[in-house]
Each structure stands twice: as structure tokens, then as C-alpha cells.
Amino acid sequence: MLDERELWKKISAGDSQAFDNWYRETAPRLRLFLRHLLASPQAAEDVMQDTYTHIWRRPQGFDSDRGTLRAWLYGIARKRAAEWWRRQRPTDPIDLLEFENAAPGHAEASSVMADLLRQLPAEQRSLLWLREVEGQSYAELAIILDIPIGTVRSRLFAAREALRAIWHSVPQGVPHDLY
């Protein structure tokens, strides 16, 4: 496999095969991330396609000295998702069904966890998703969210504390060992 700089050099030069390979490698995880952020699978698909189309048409935006290609991709997708929300103003709650797919064989526990996550504000859900499910580093999160690393750390701490508070408020009838 090509290193990031070589891959991007090919994509920037208009190599559609290199772009297609990169798309096939990154699209499934990006789709999951966008499904987490948006109200419907179709919206996630639309925003994902818009993200890749934007990148294909304007490949000059990536600077490997500022961060990873993956962080840049997620940053663009996050901004496109925010634009979608501003245009749509949806009233439906965010569908976190894909969270269940992130933990195969643990559907009941994943469903309970998805219910808990639904209670967090969208920004905290996104941050926890990117860090805990996608495995983004603090530096990558800083690039994606366009904030300093210290802010990433403090927001992650706040998100985890909020989730912990929700966890401790779970009614007695719900078995805590599901988590």
C-alpha cells in the first residue's frame, strides 16, 4: 500500500483508480460516522457522496504537514454534516442503529448503550464516536474539530462525565452488567 503522501499525490494528479481505492477503503467507516451524526441513512449517504465529490474536485486542500488524510476526510465530512443540519432542521432523533453493528453479538448491550448515547448532546456523541469507535487520536480530533488539543481533552472529559452521569441514573430494573 502507498504511504499517505504518495497516495495523495496520485489522487491530486487525477488518478481515478487511486481515488477509487481510497474511497473503497475509507467509505464504510465514514458512512458509519455520518449515520451517527445525521438523521437517516439516506442523509448520511448523500453527505458522504458530497464529501468525496468535494475532495475529488478540490484535492489541493490536504496538507500532510497539518495532519493525516483520515483526519482531513473526517473534518470535511463533519463540516458537510453540519451544513446538512442547518439546511434540514430535522425534528427526528438521531438514529444510532449502526452503533449496534459496531459490536456484533452484543445487540442488547449495544442497544442500551445507544439509548444512553442518545441522551448526550450531538457534539458530545460525535466526539465520543470519533474517539472510541473510530479510534481517532487527540491530534486527529483537533484537526477534525478545528480546536486545540487541550480543548479536545477537556471536551472528551466532559462527554465521558456526562455519559457516566447518565449511566448512574439508569433505573434499577436495567441490569448494569449489559455494559
Domains and CATH numbers, the chain: 1-95 (1.10.1740.10), 96-179 (1.10.10.10)
pLDDT of residue 170: 60
Amino acid identity, position 126: S
- For residues 52 and 27, the answer to whether their CB atoms sit within 8 Å is yes
Q: pTM above the 0.75 mark?
A: no
Q: Which of 130, 24, 128 is nearest to 74 (CA)?
A: 130
pLDDT of residue 25: 93
pLDDT of residue 179: 43
> For residue 120, what is the DSSP state?
S
Q: 149-168 and 107-118 helices cross at what angle (nearest 10)?
A: 110
Amino acid identity, position 38: L
pLDDT tens for the chain, 179 residues long, are 568 888 888 988 989 999 999 999 999 999 988 888 886 788 889 999 999 999 988 877 788 788 888 888 998 998 888 888 777 654 444 444 444 444 445 445 556 666 777 788 878 888 888 888 778 888 888 888 888 888 888 898 898 888 888 877 765 554 544 44
pLDDT of residue 1: 56
In whole angstroms, give the CA distance from residue 58 to residue 150: 30
Q: Which of 27, 34, 45, 5 is nearest to 144 (CA)?
A: 34
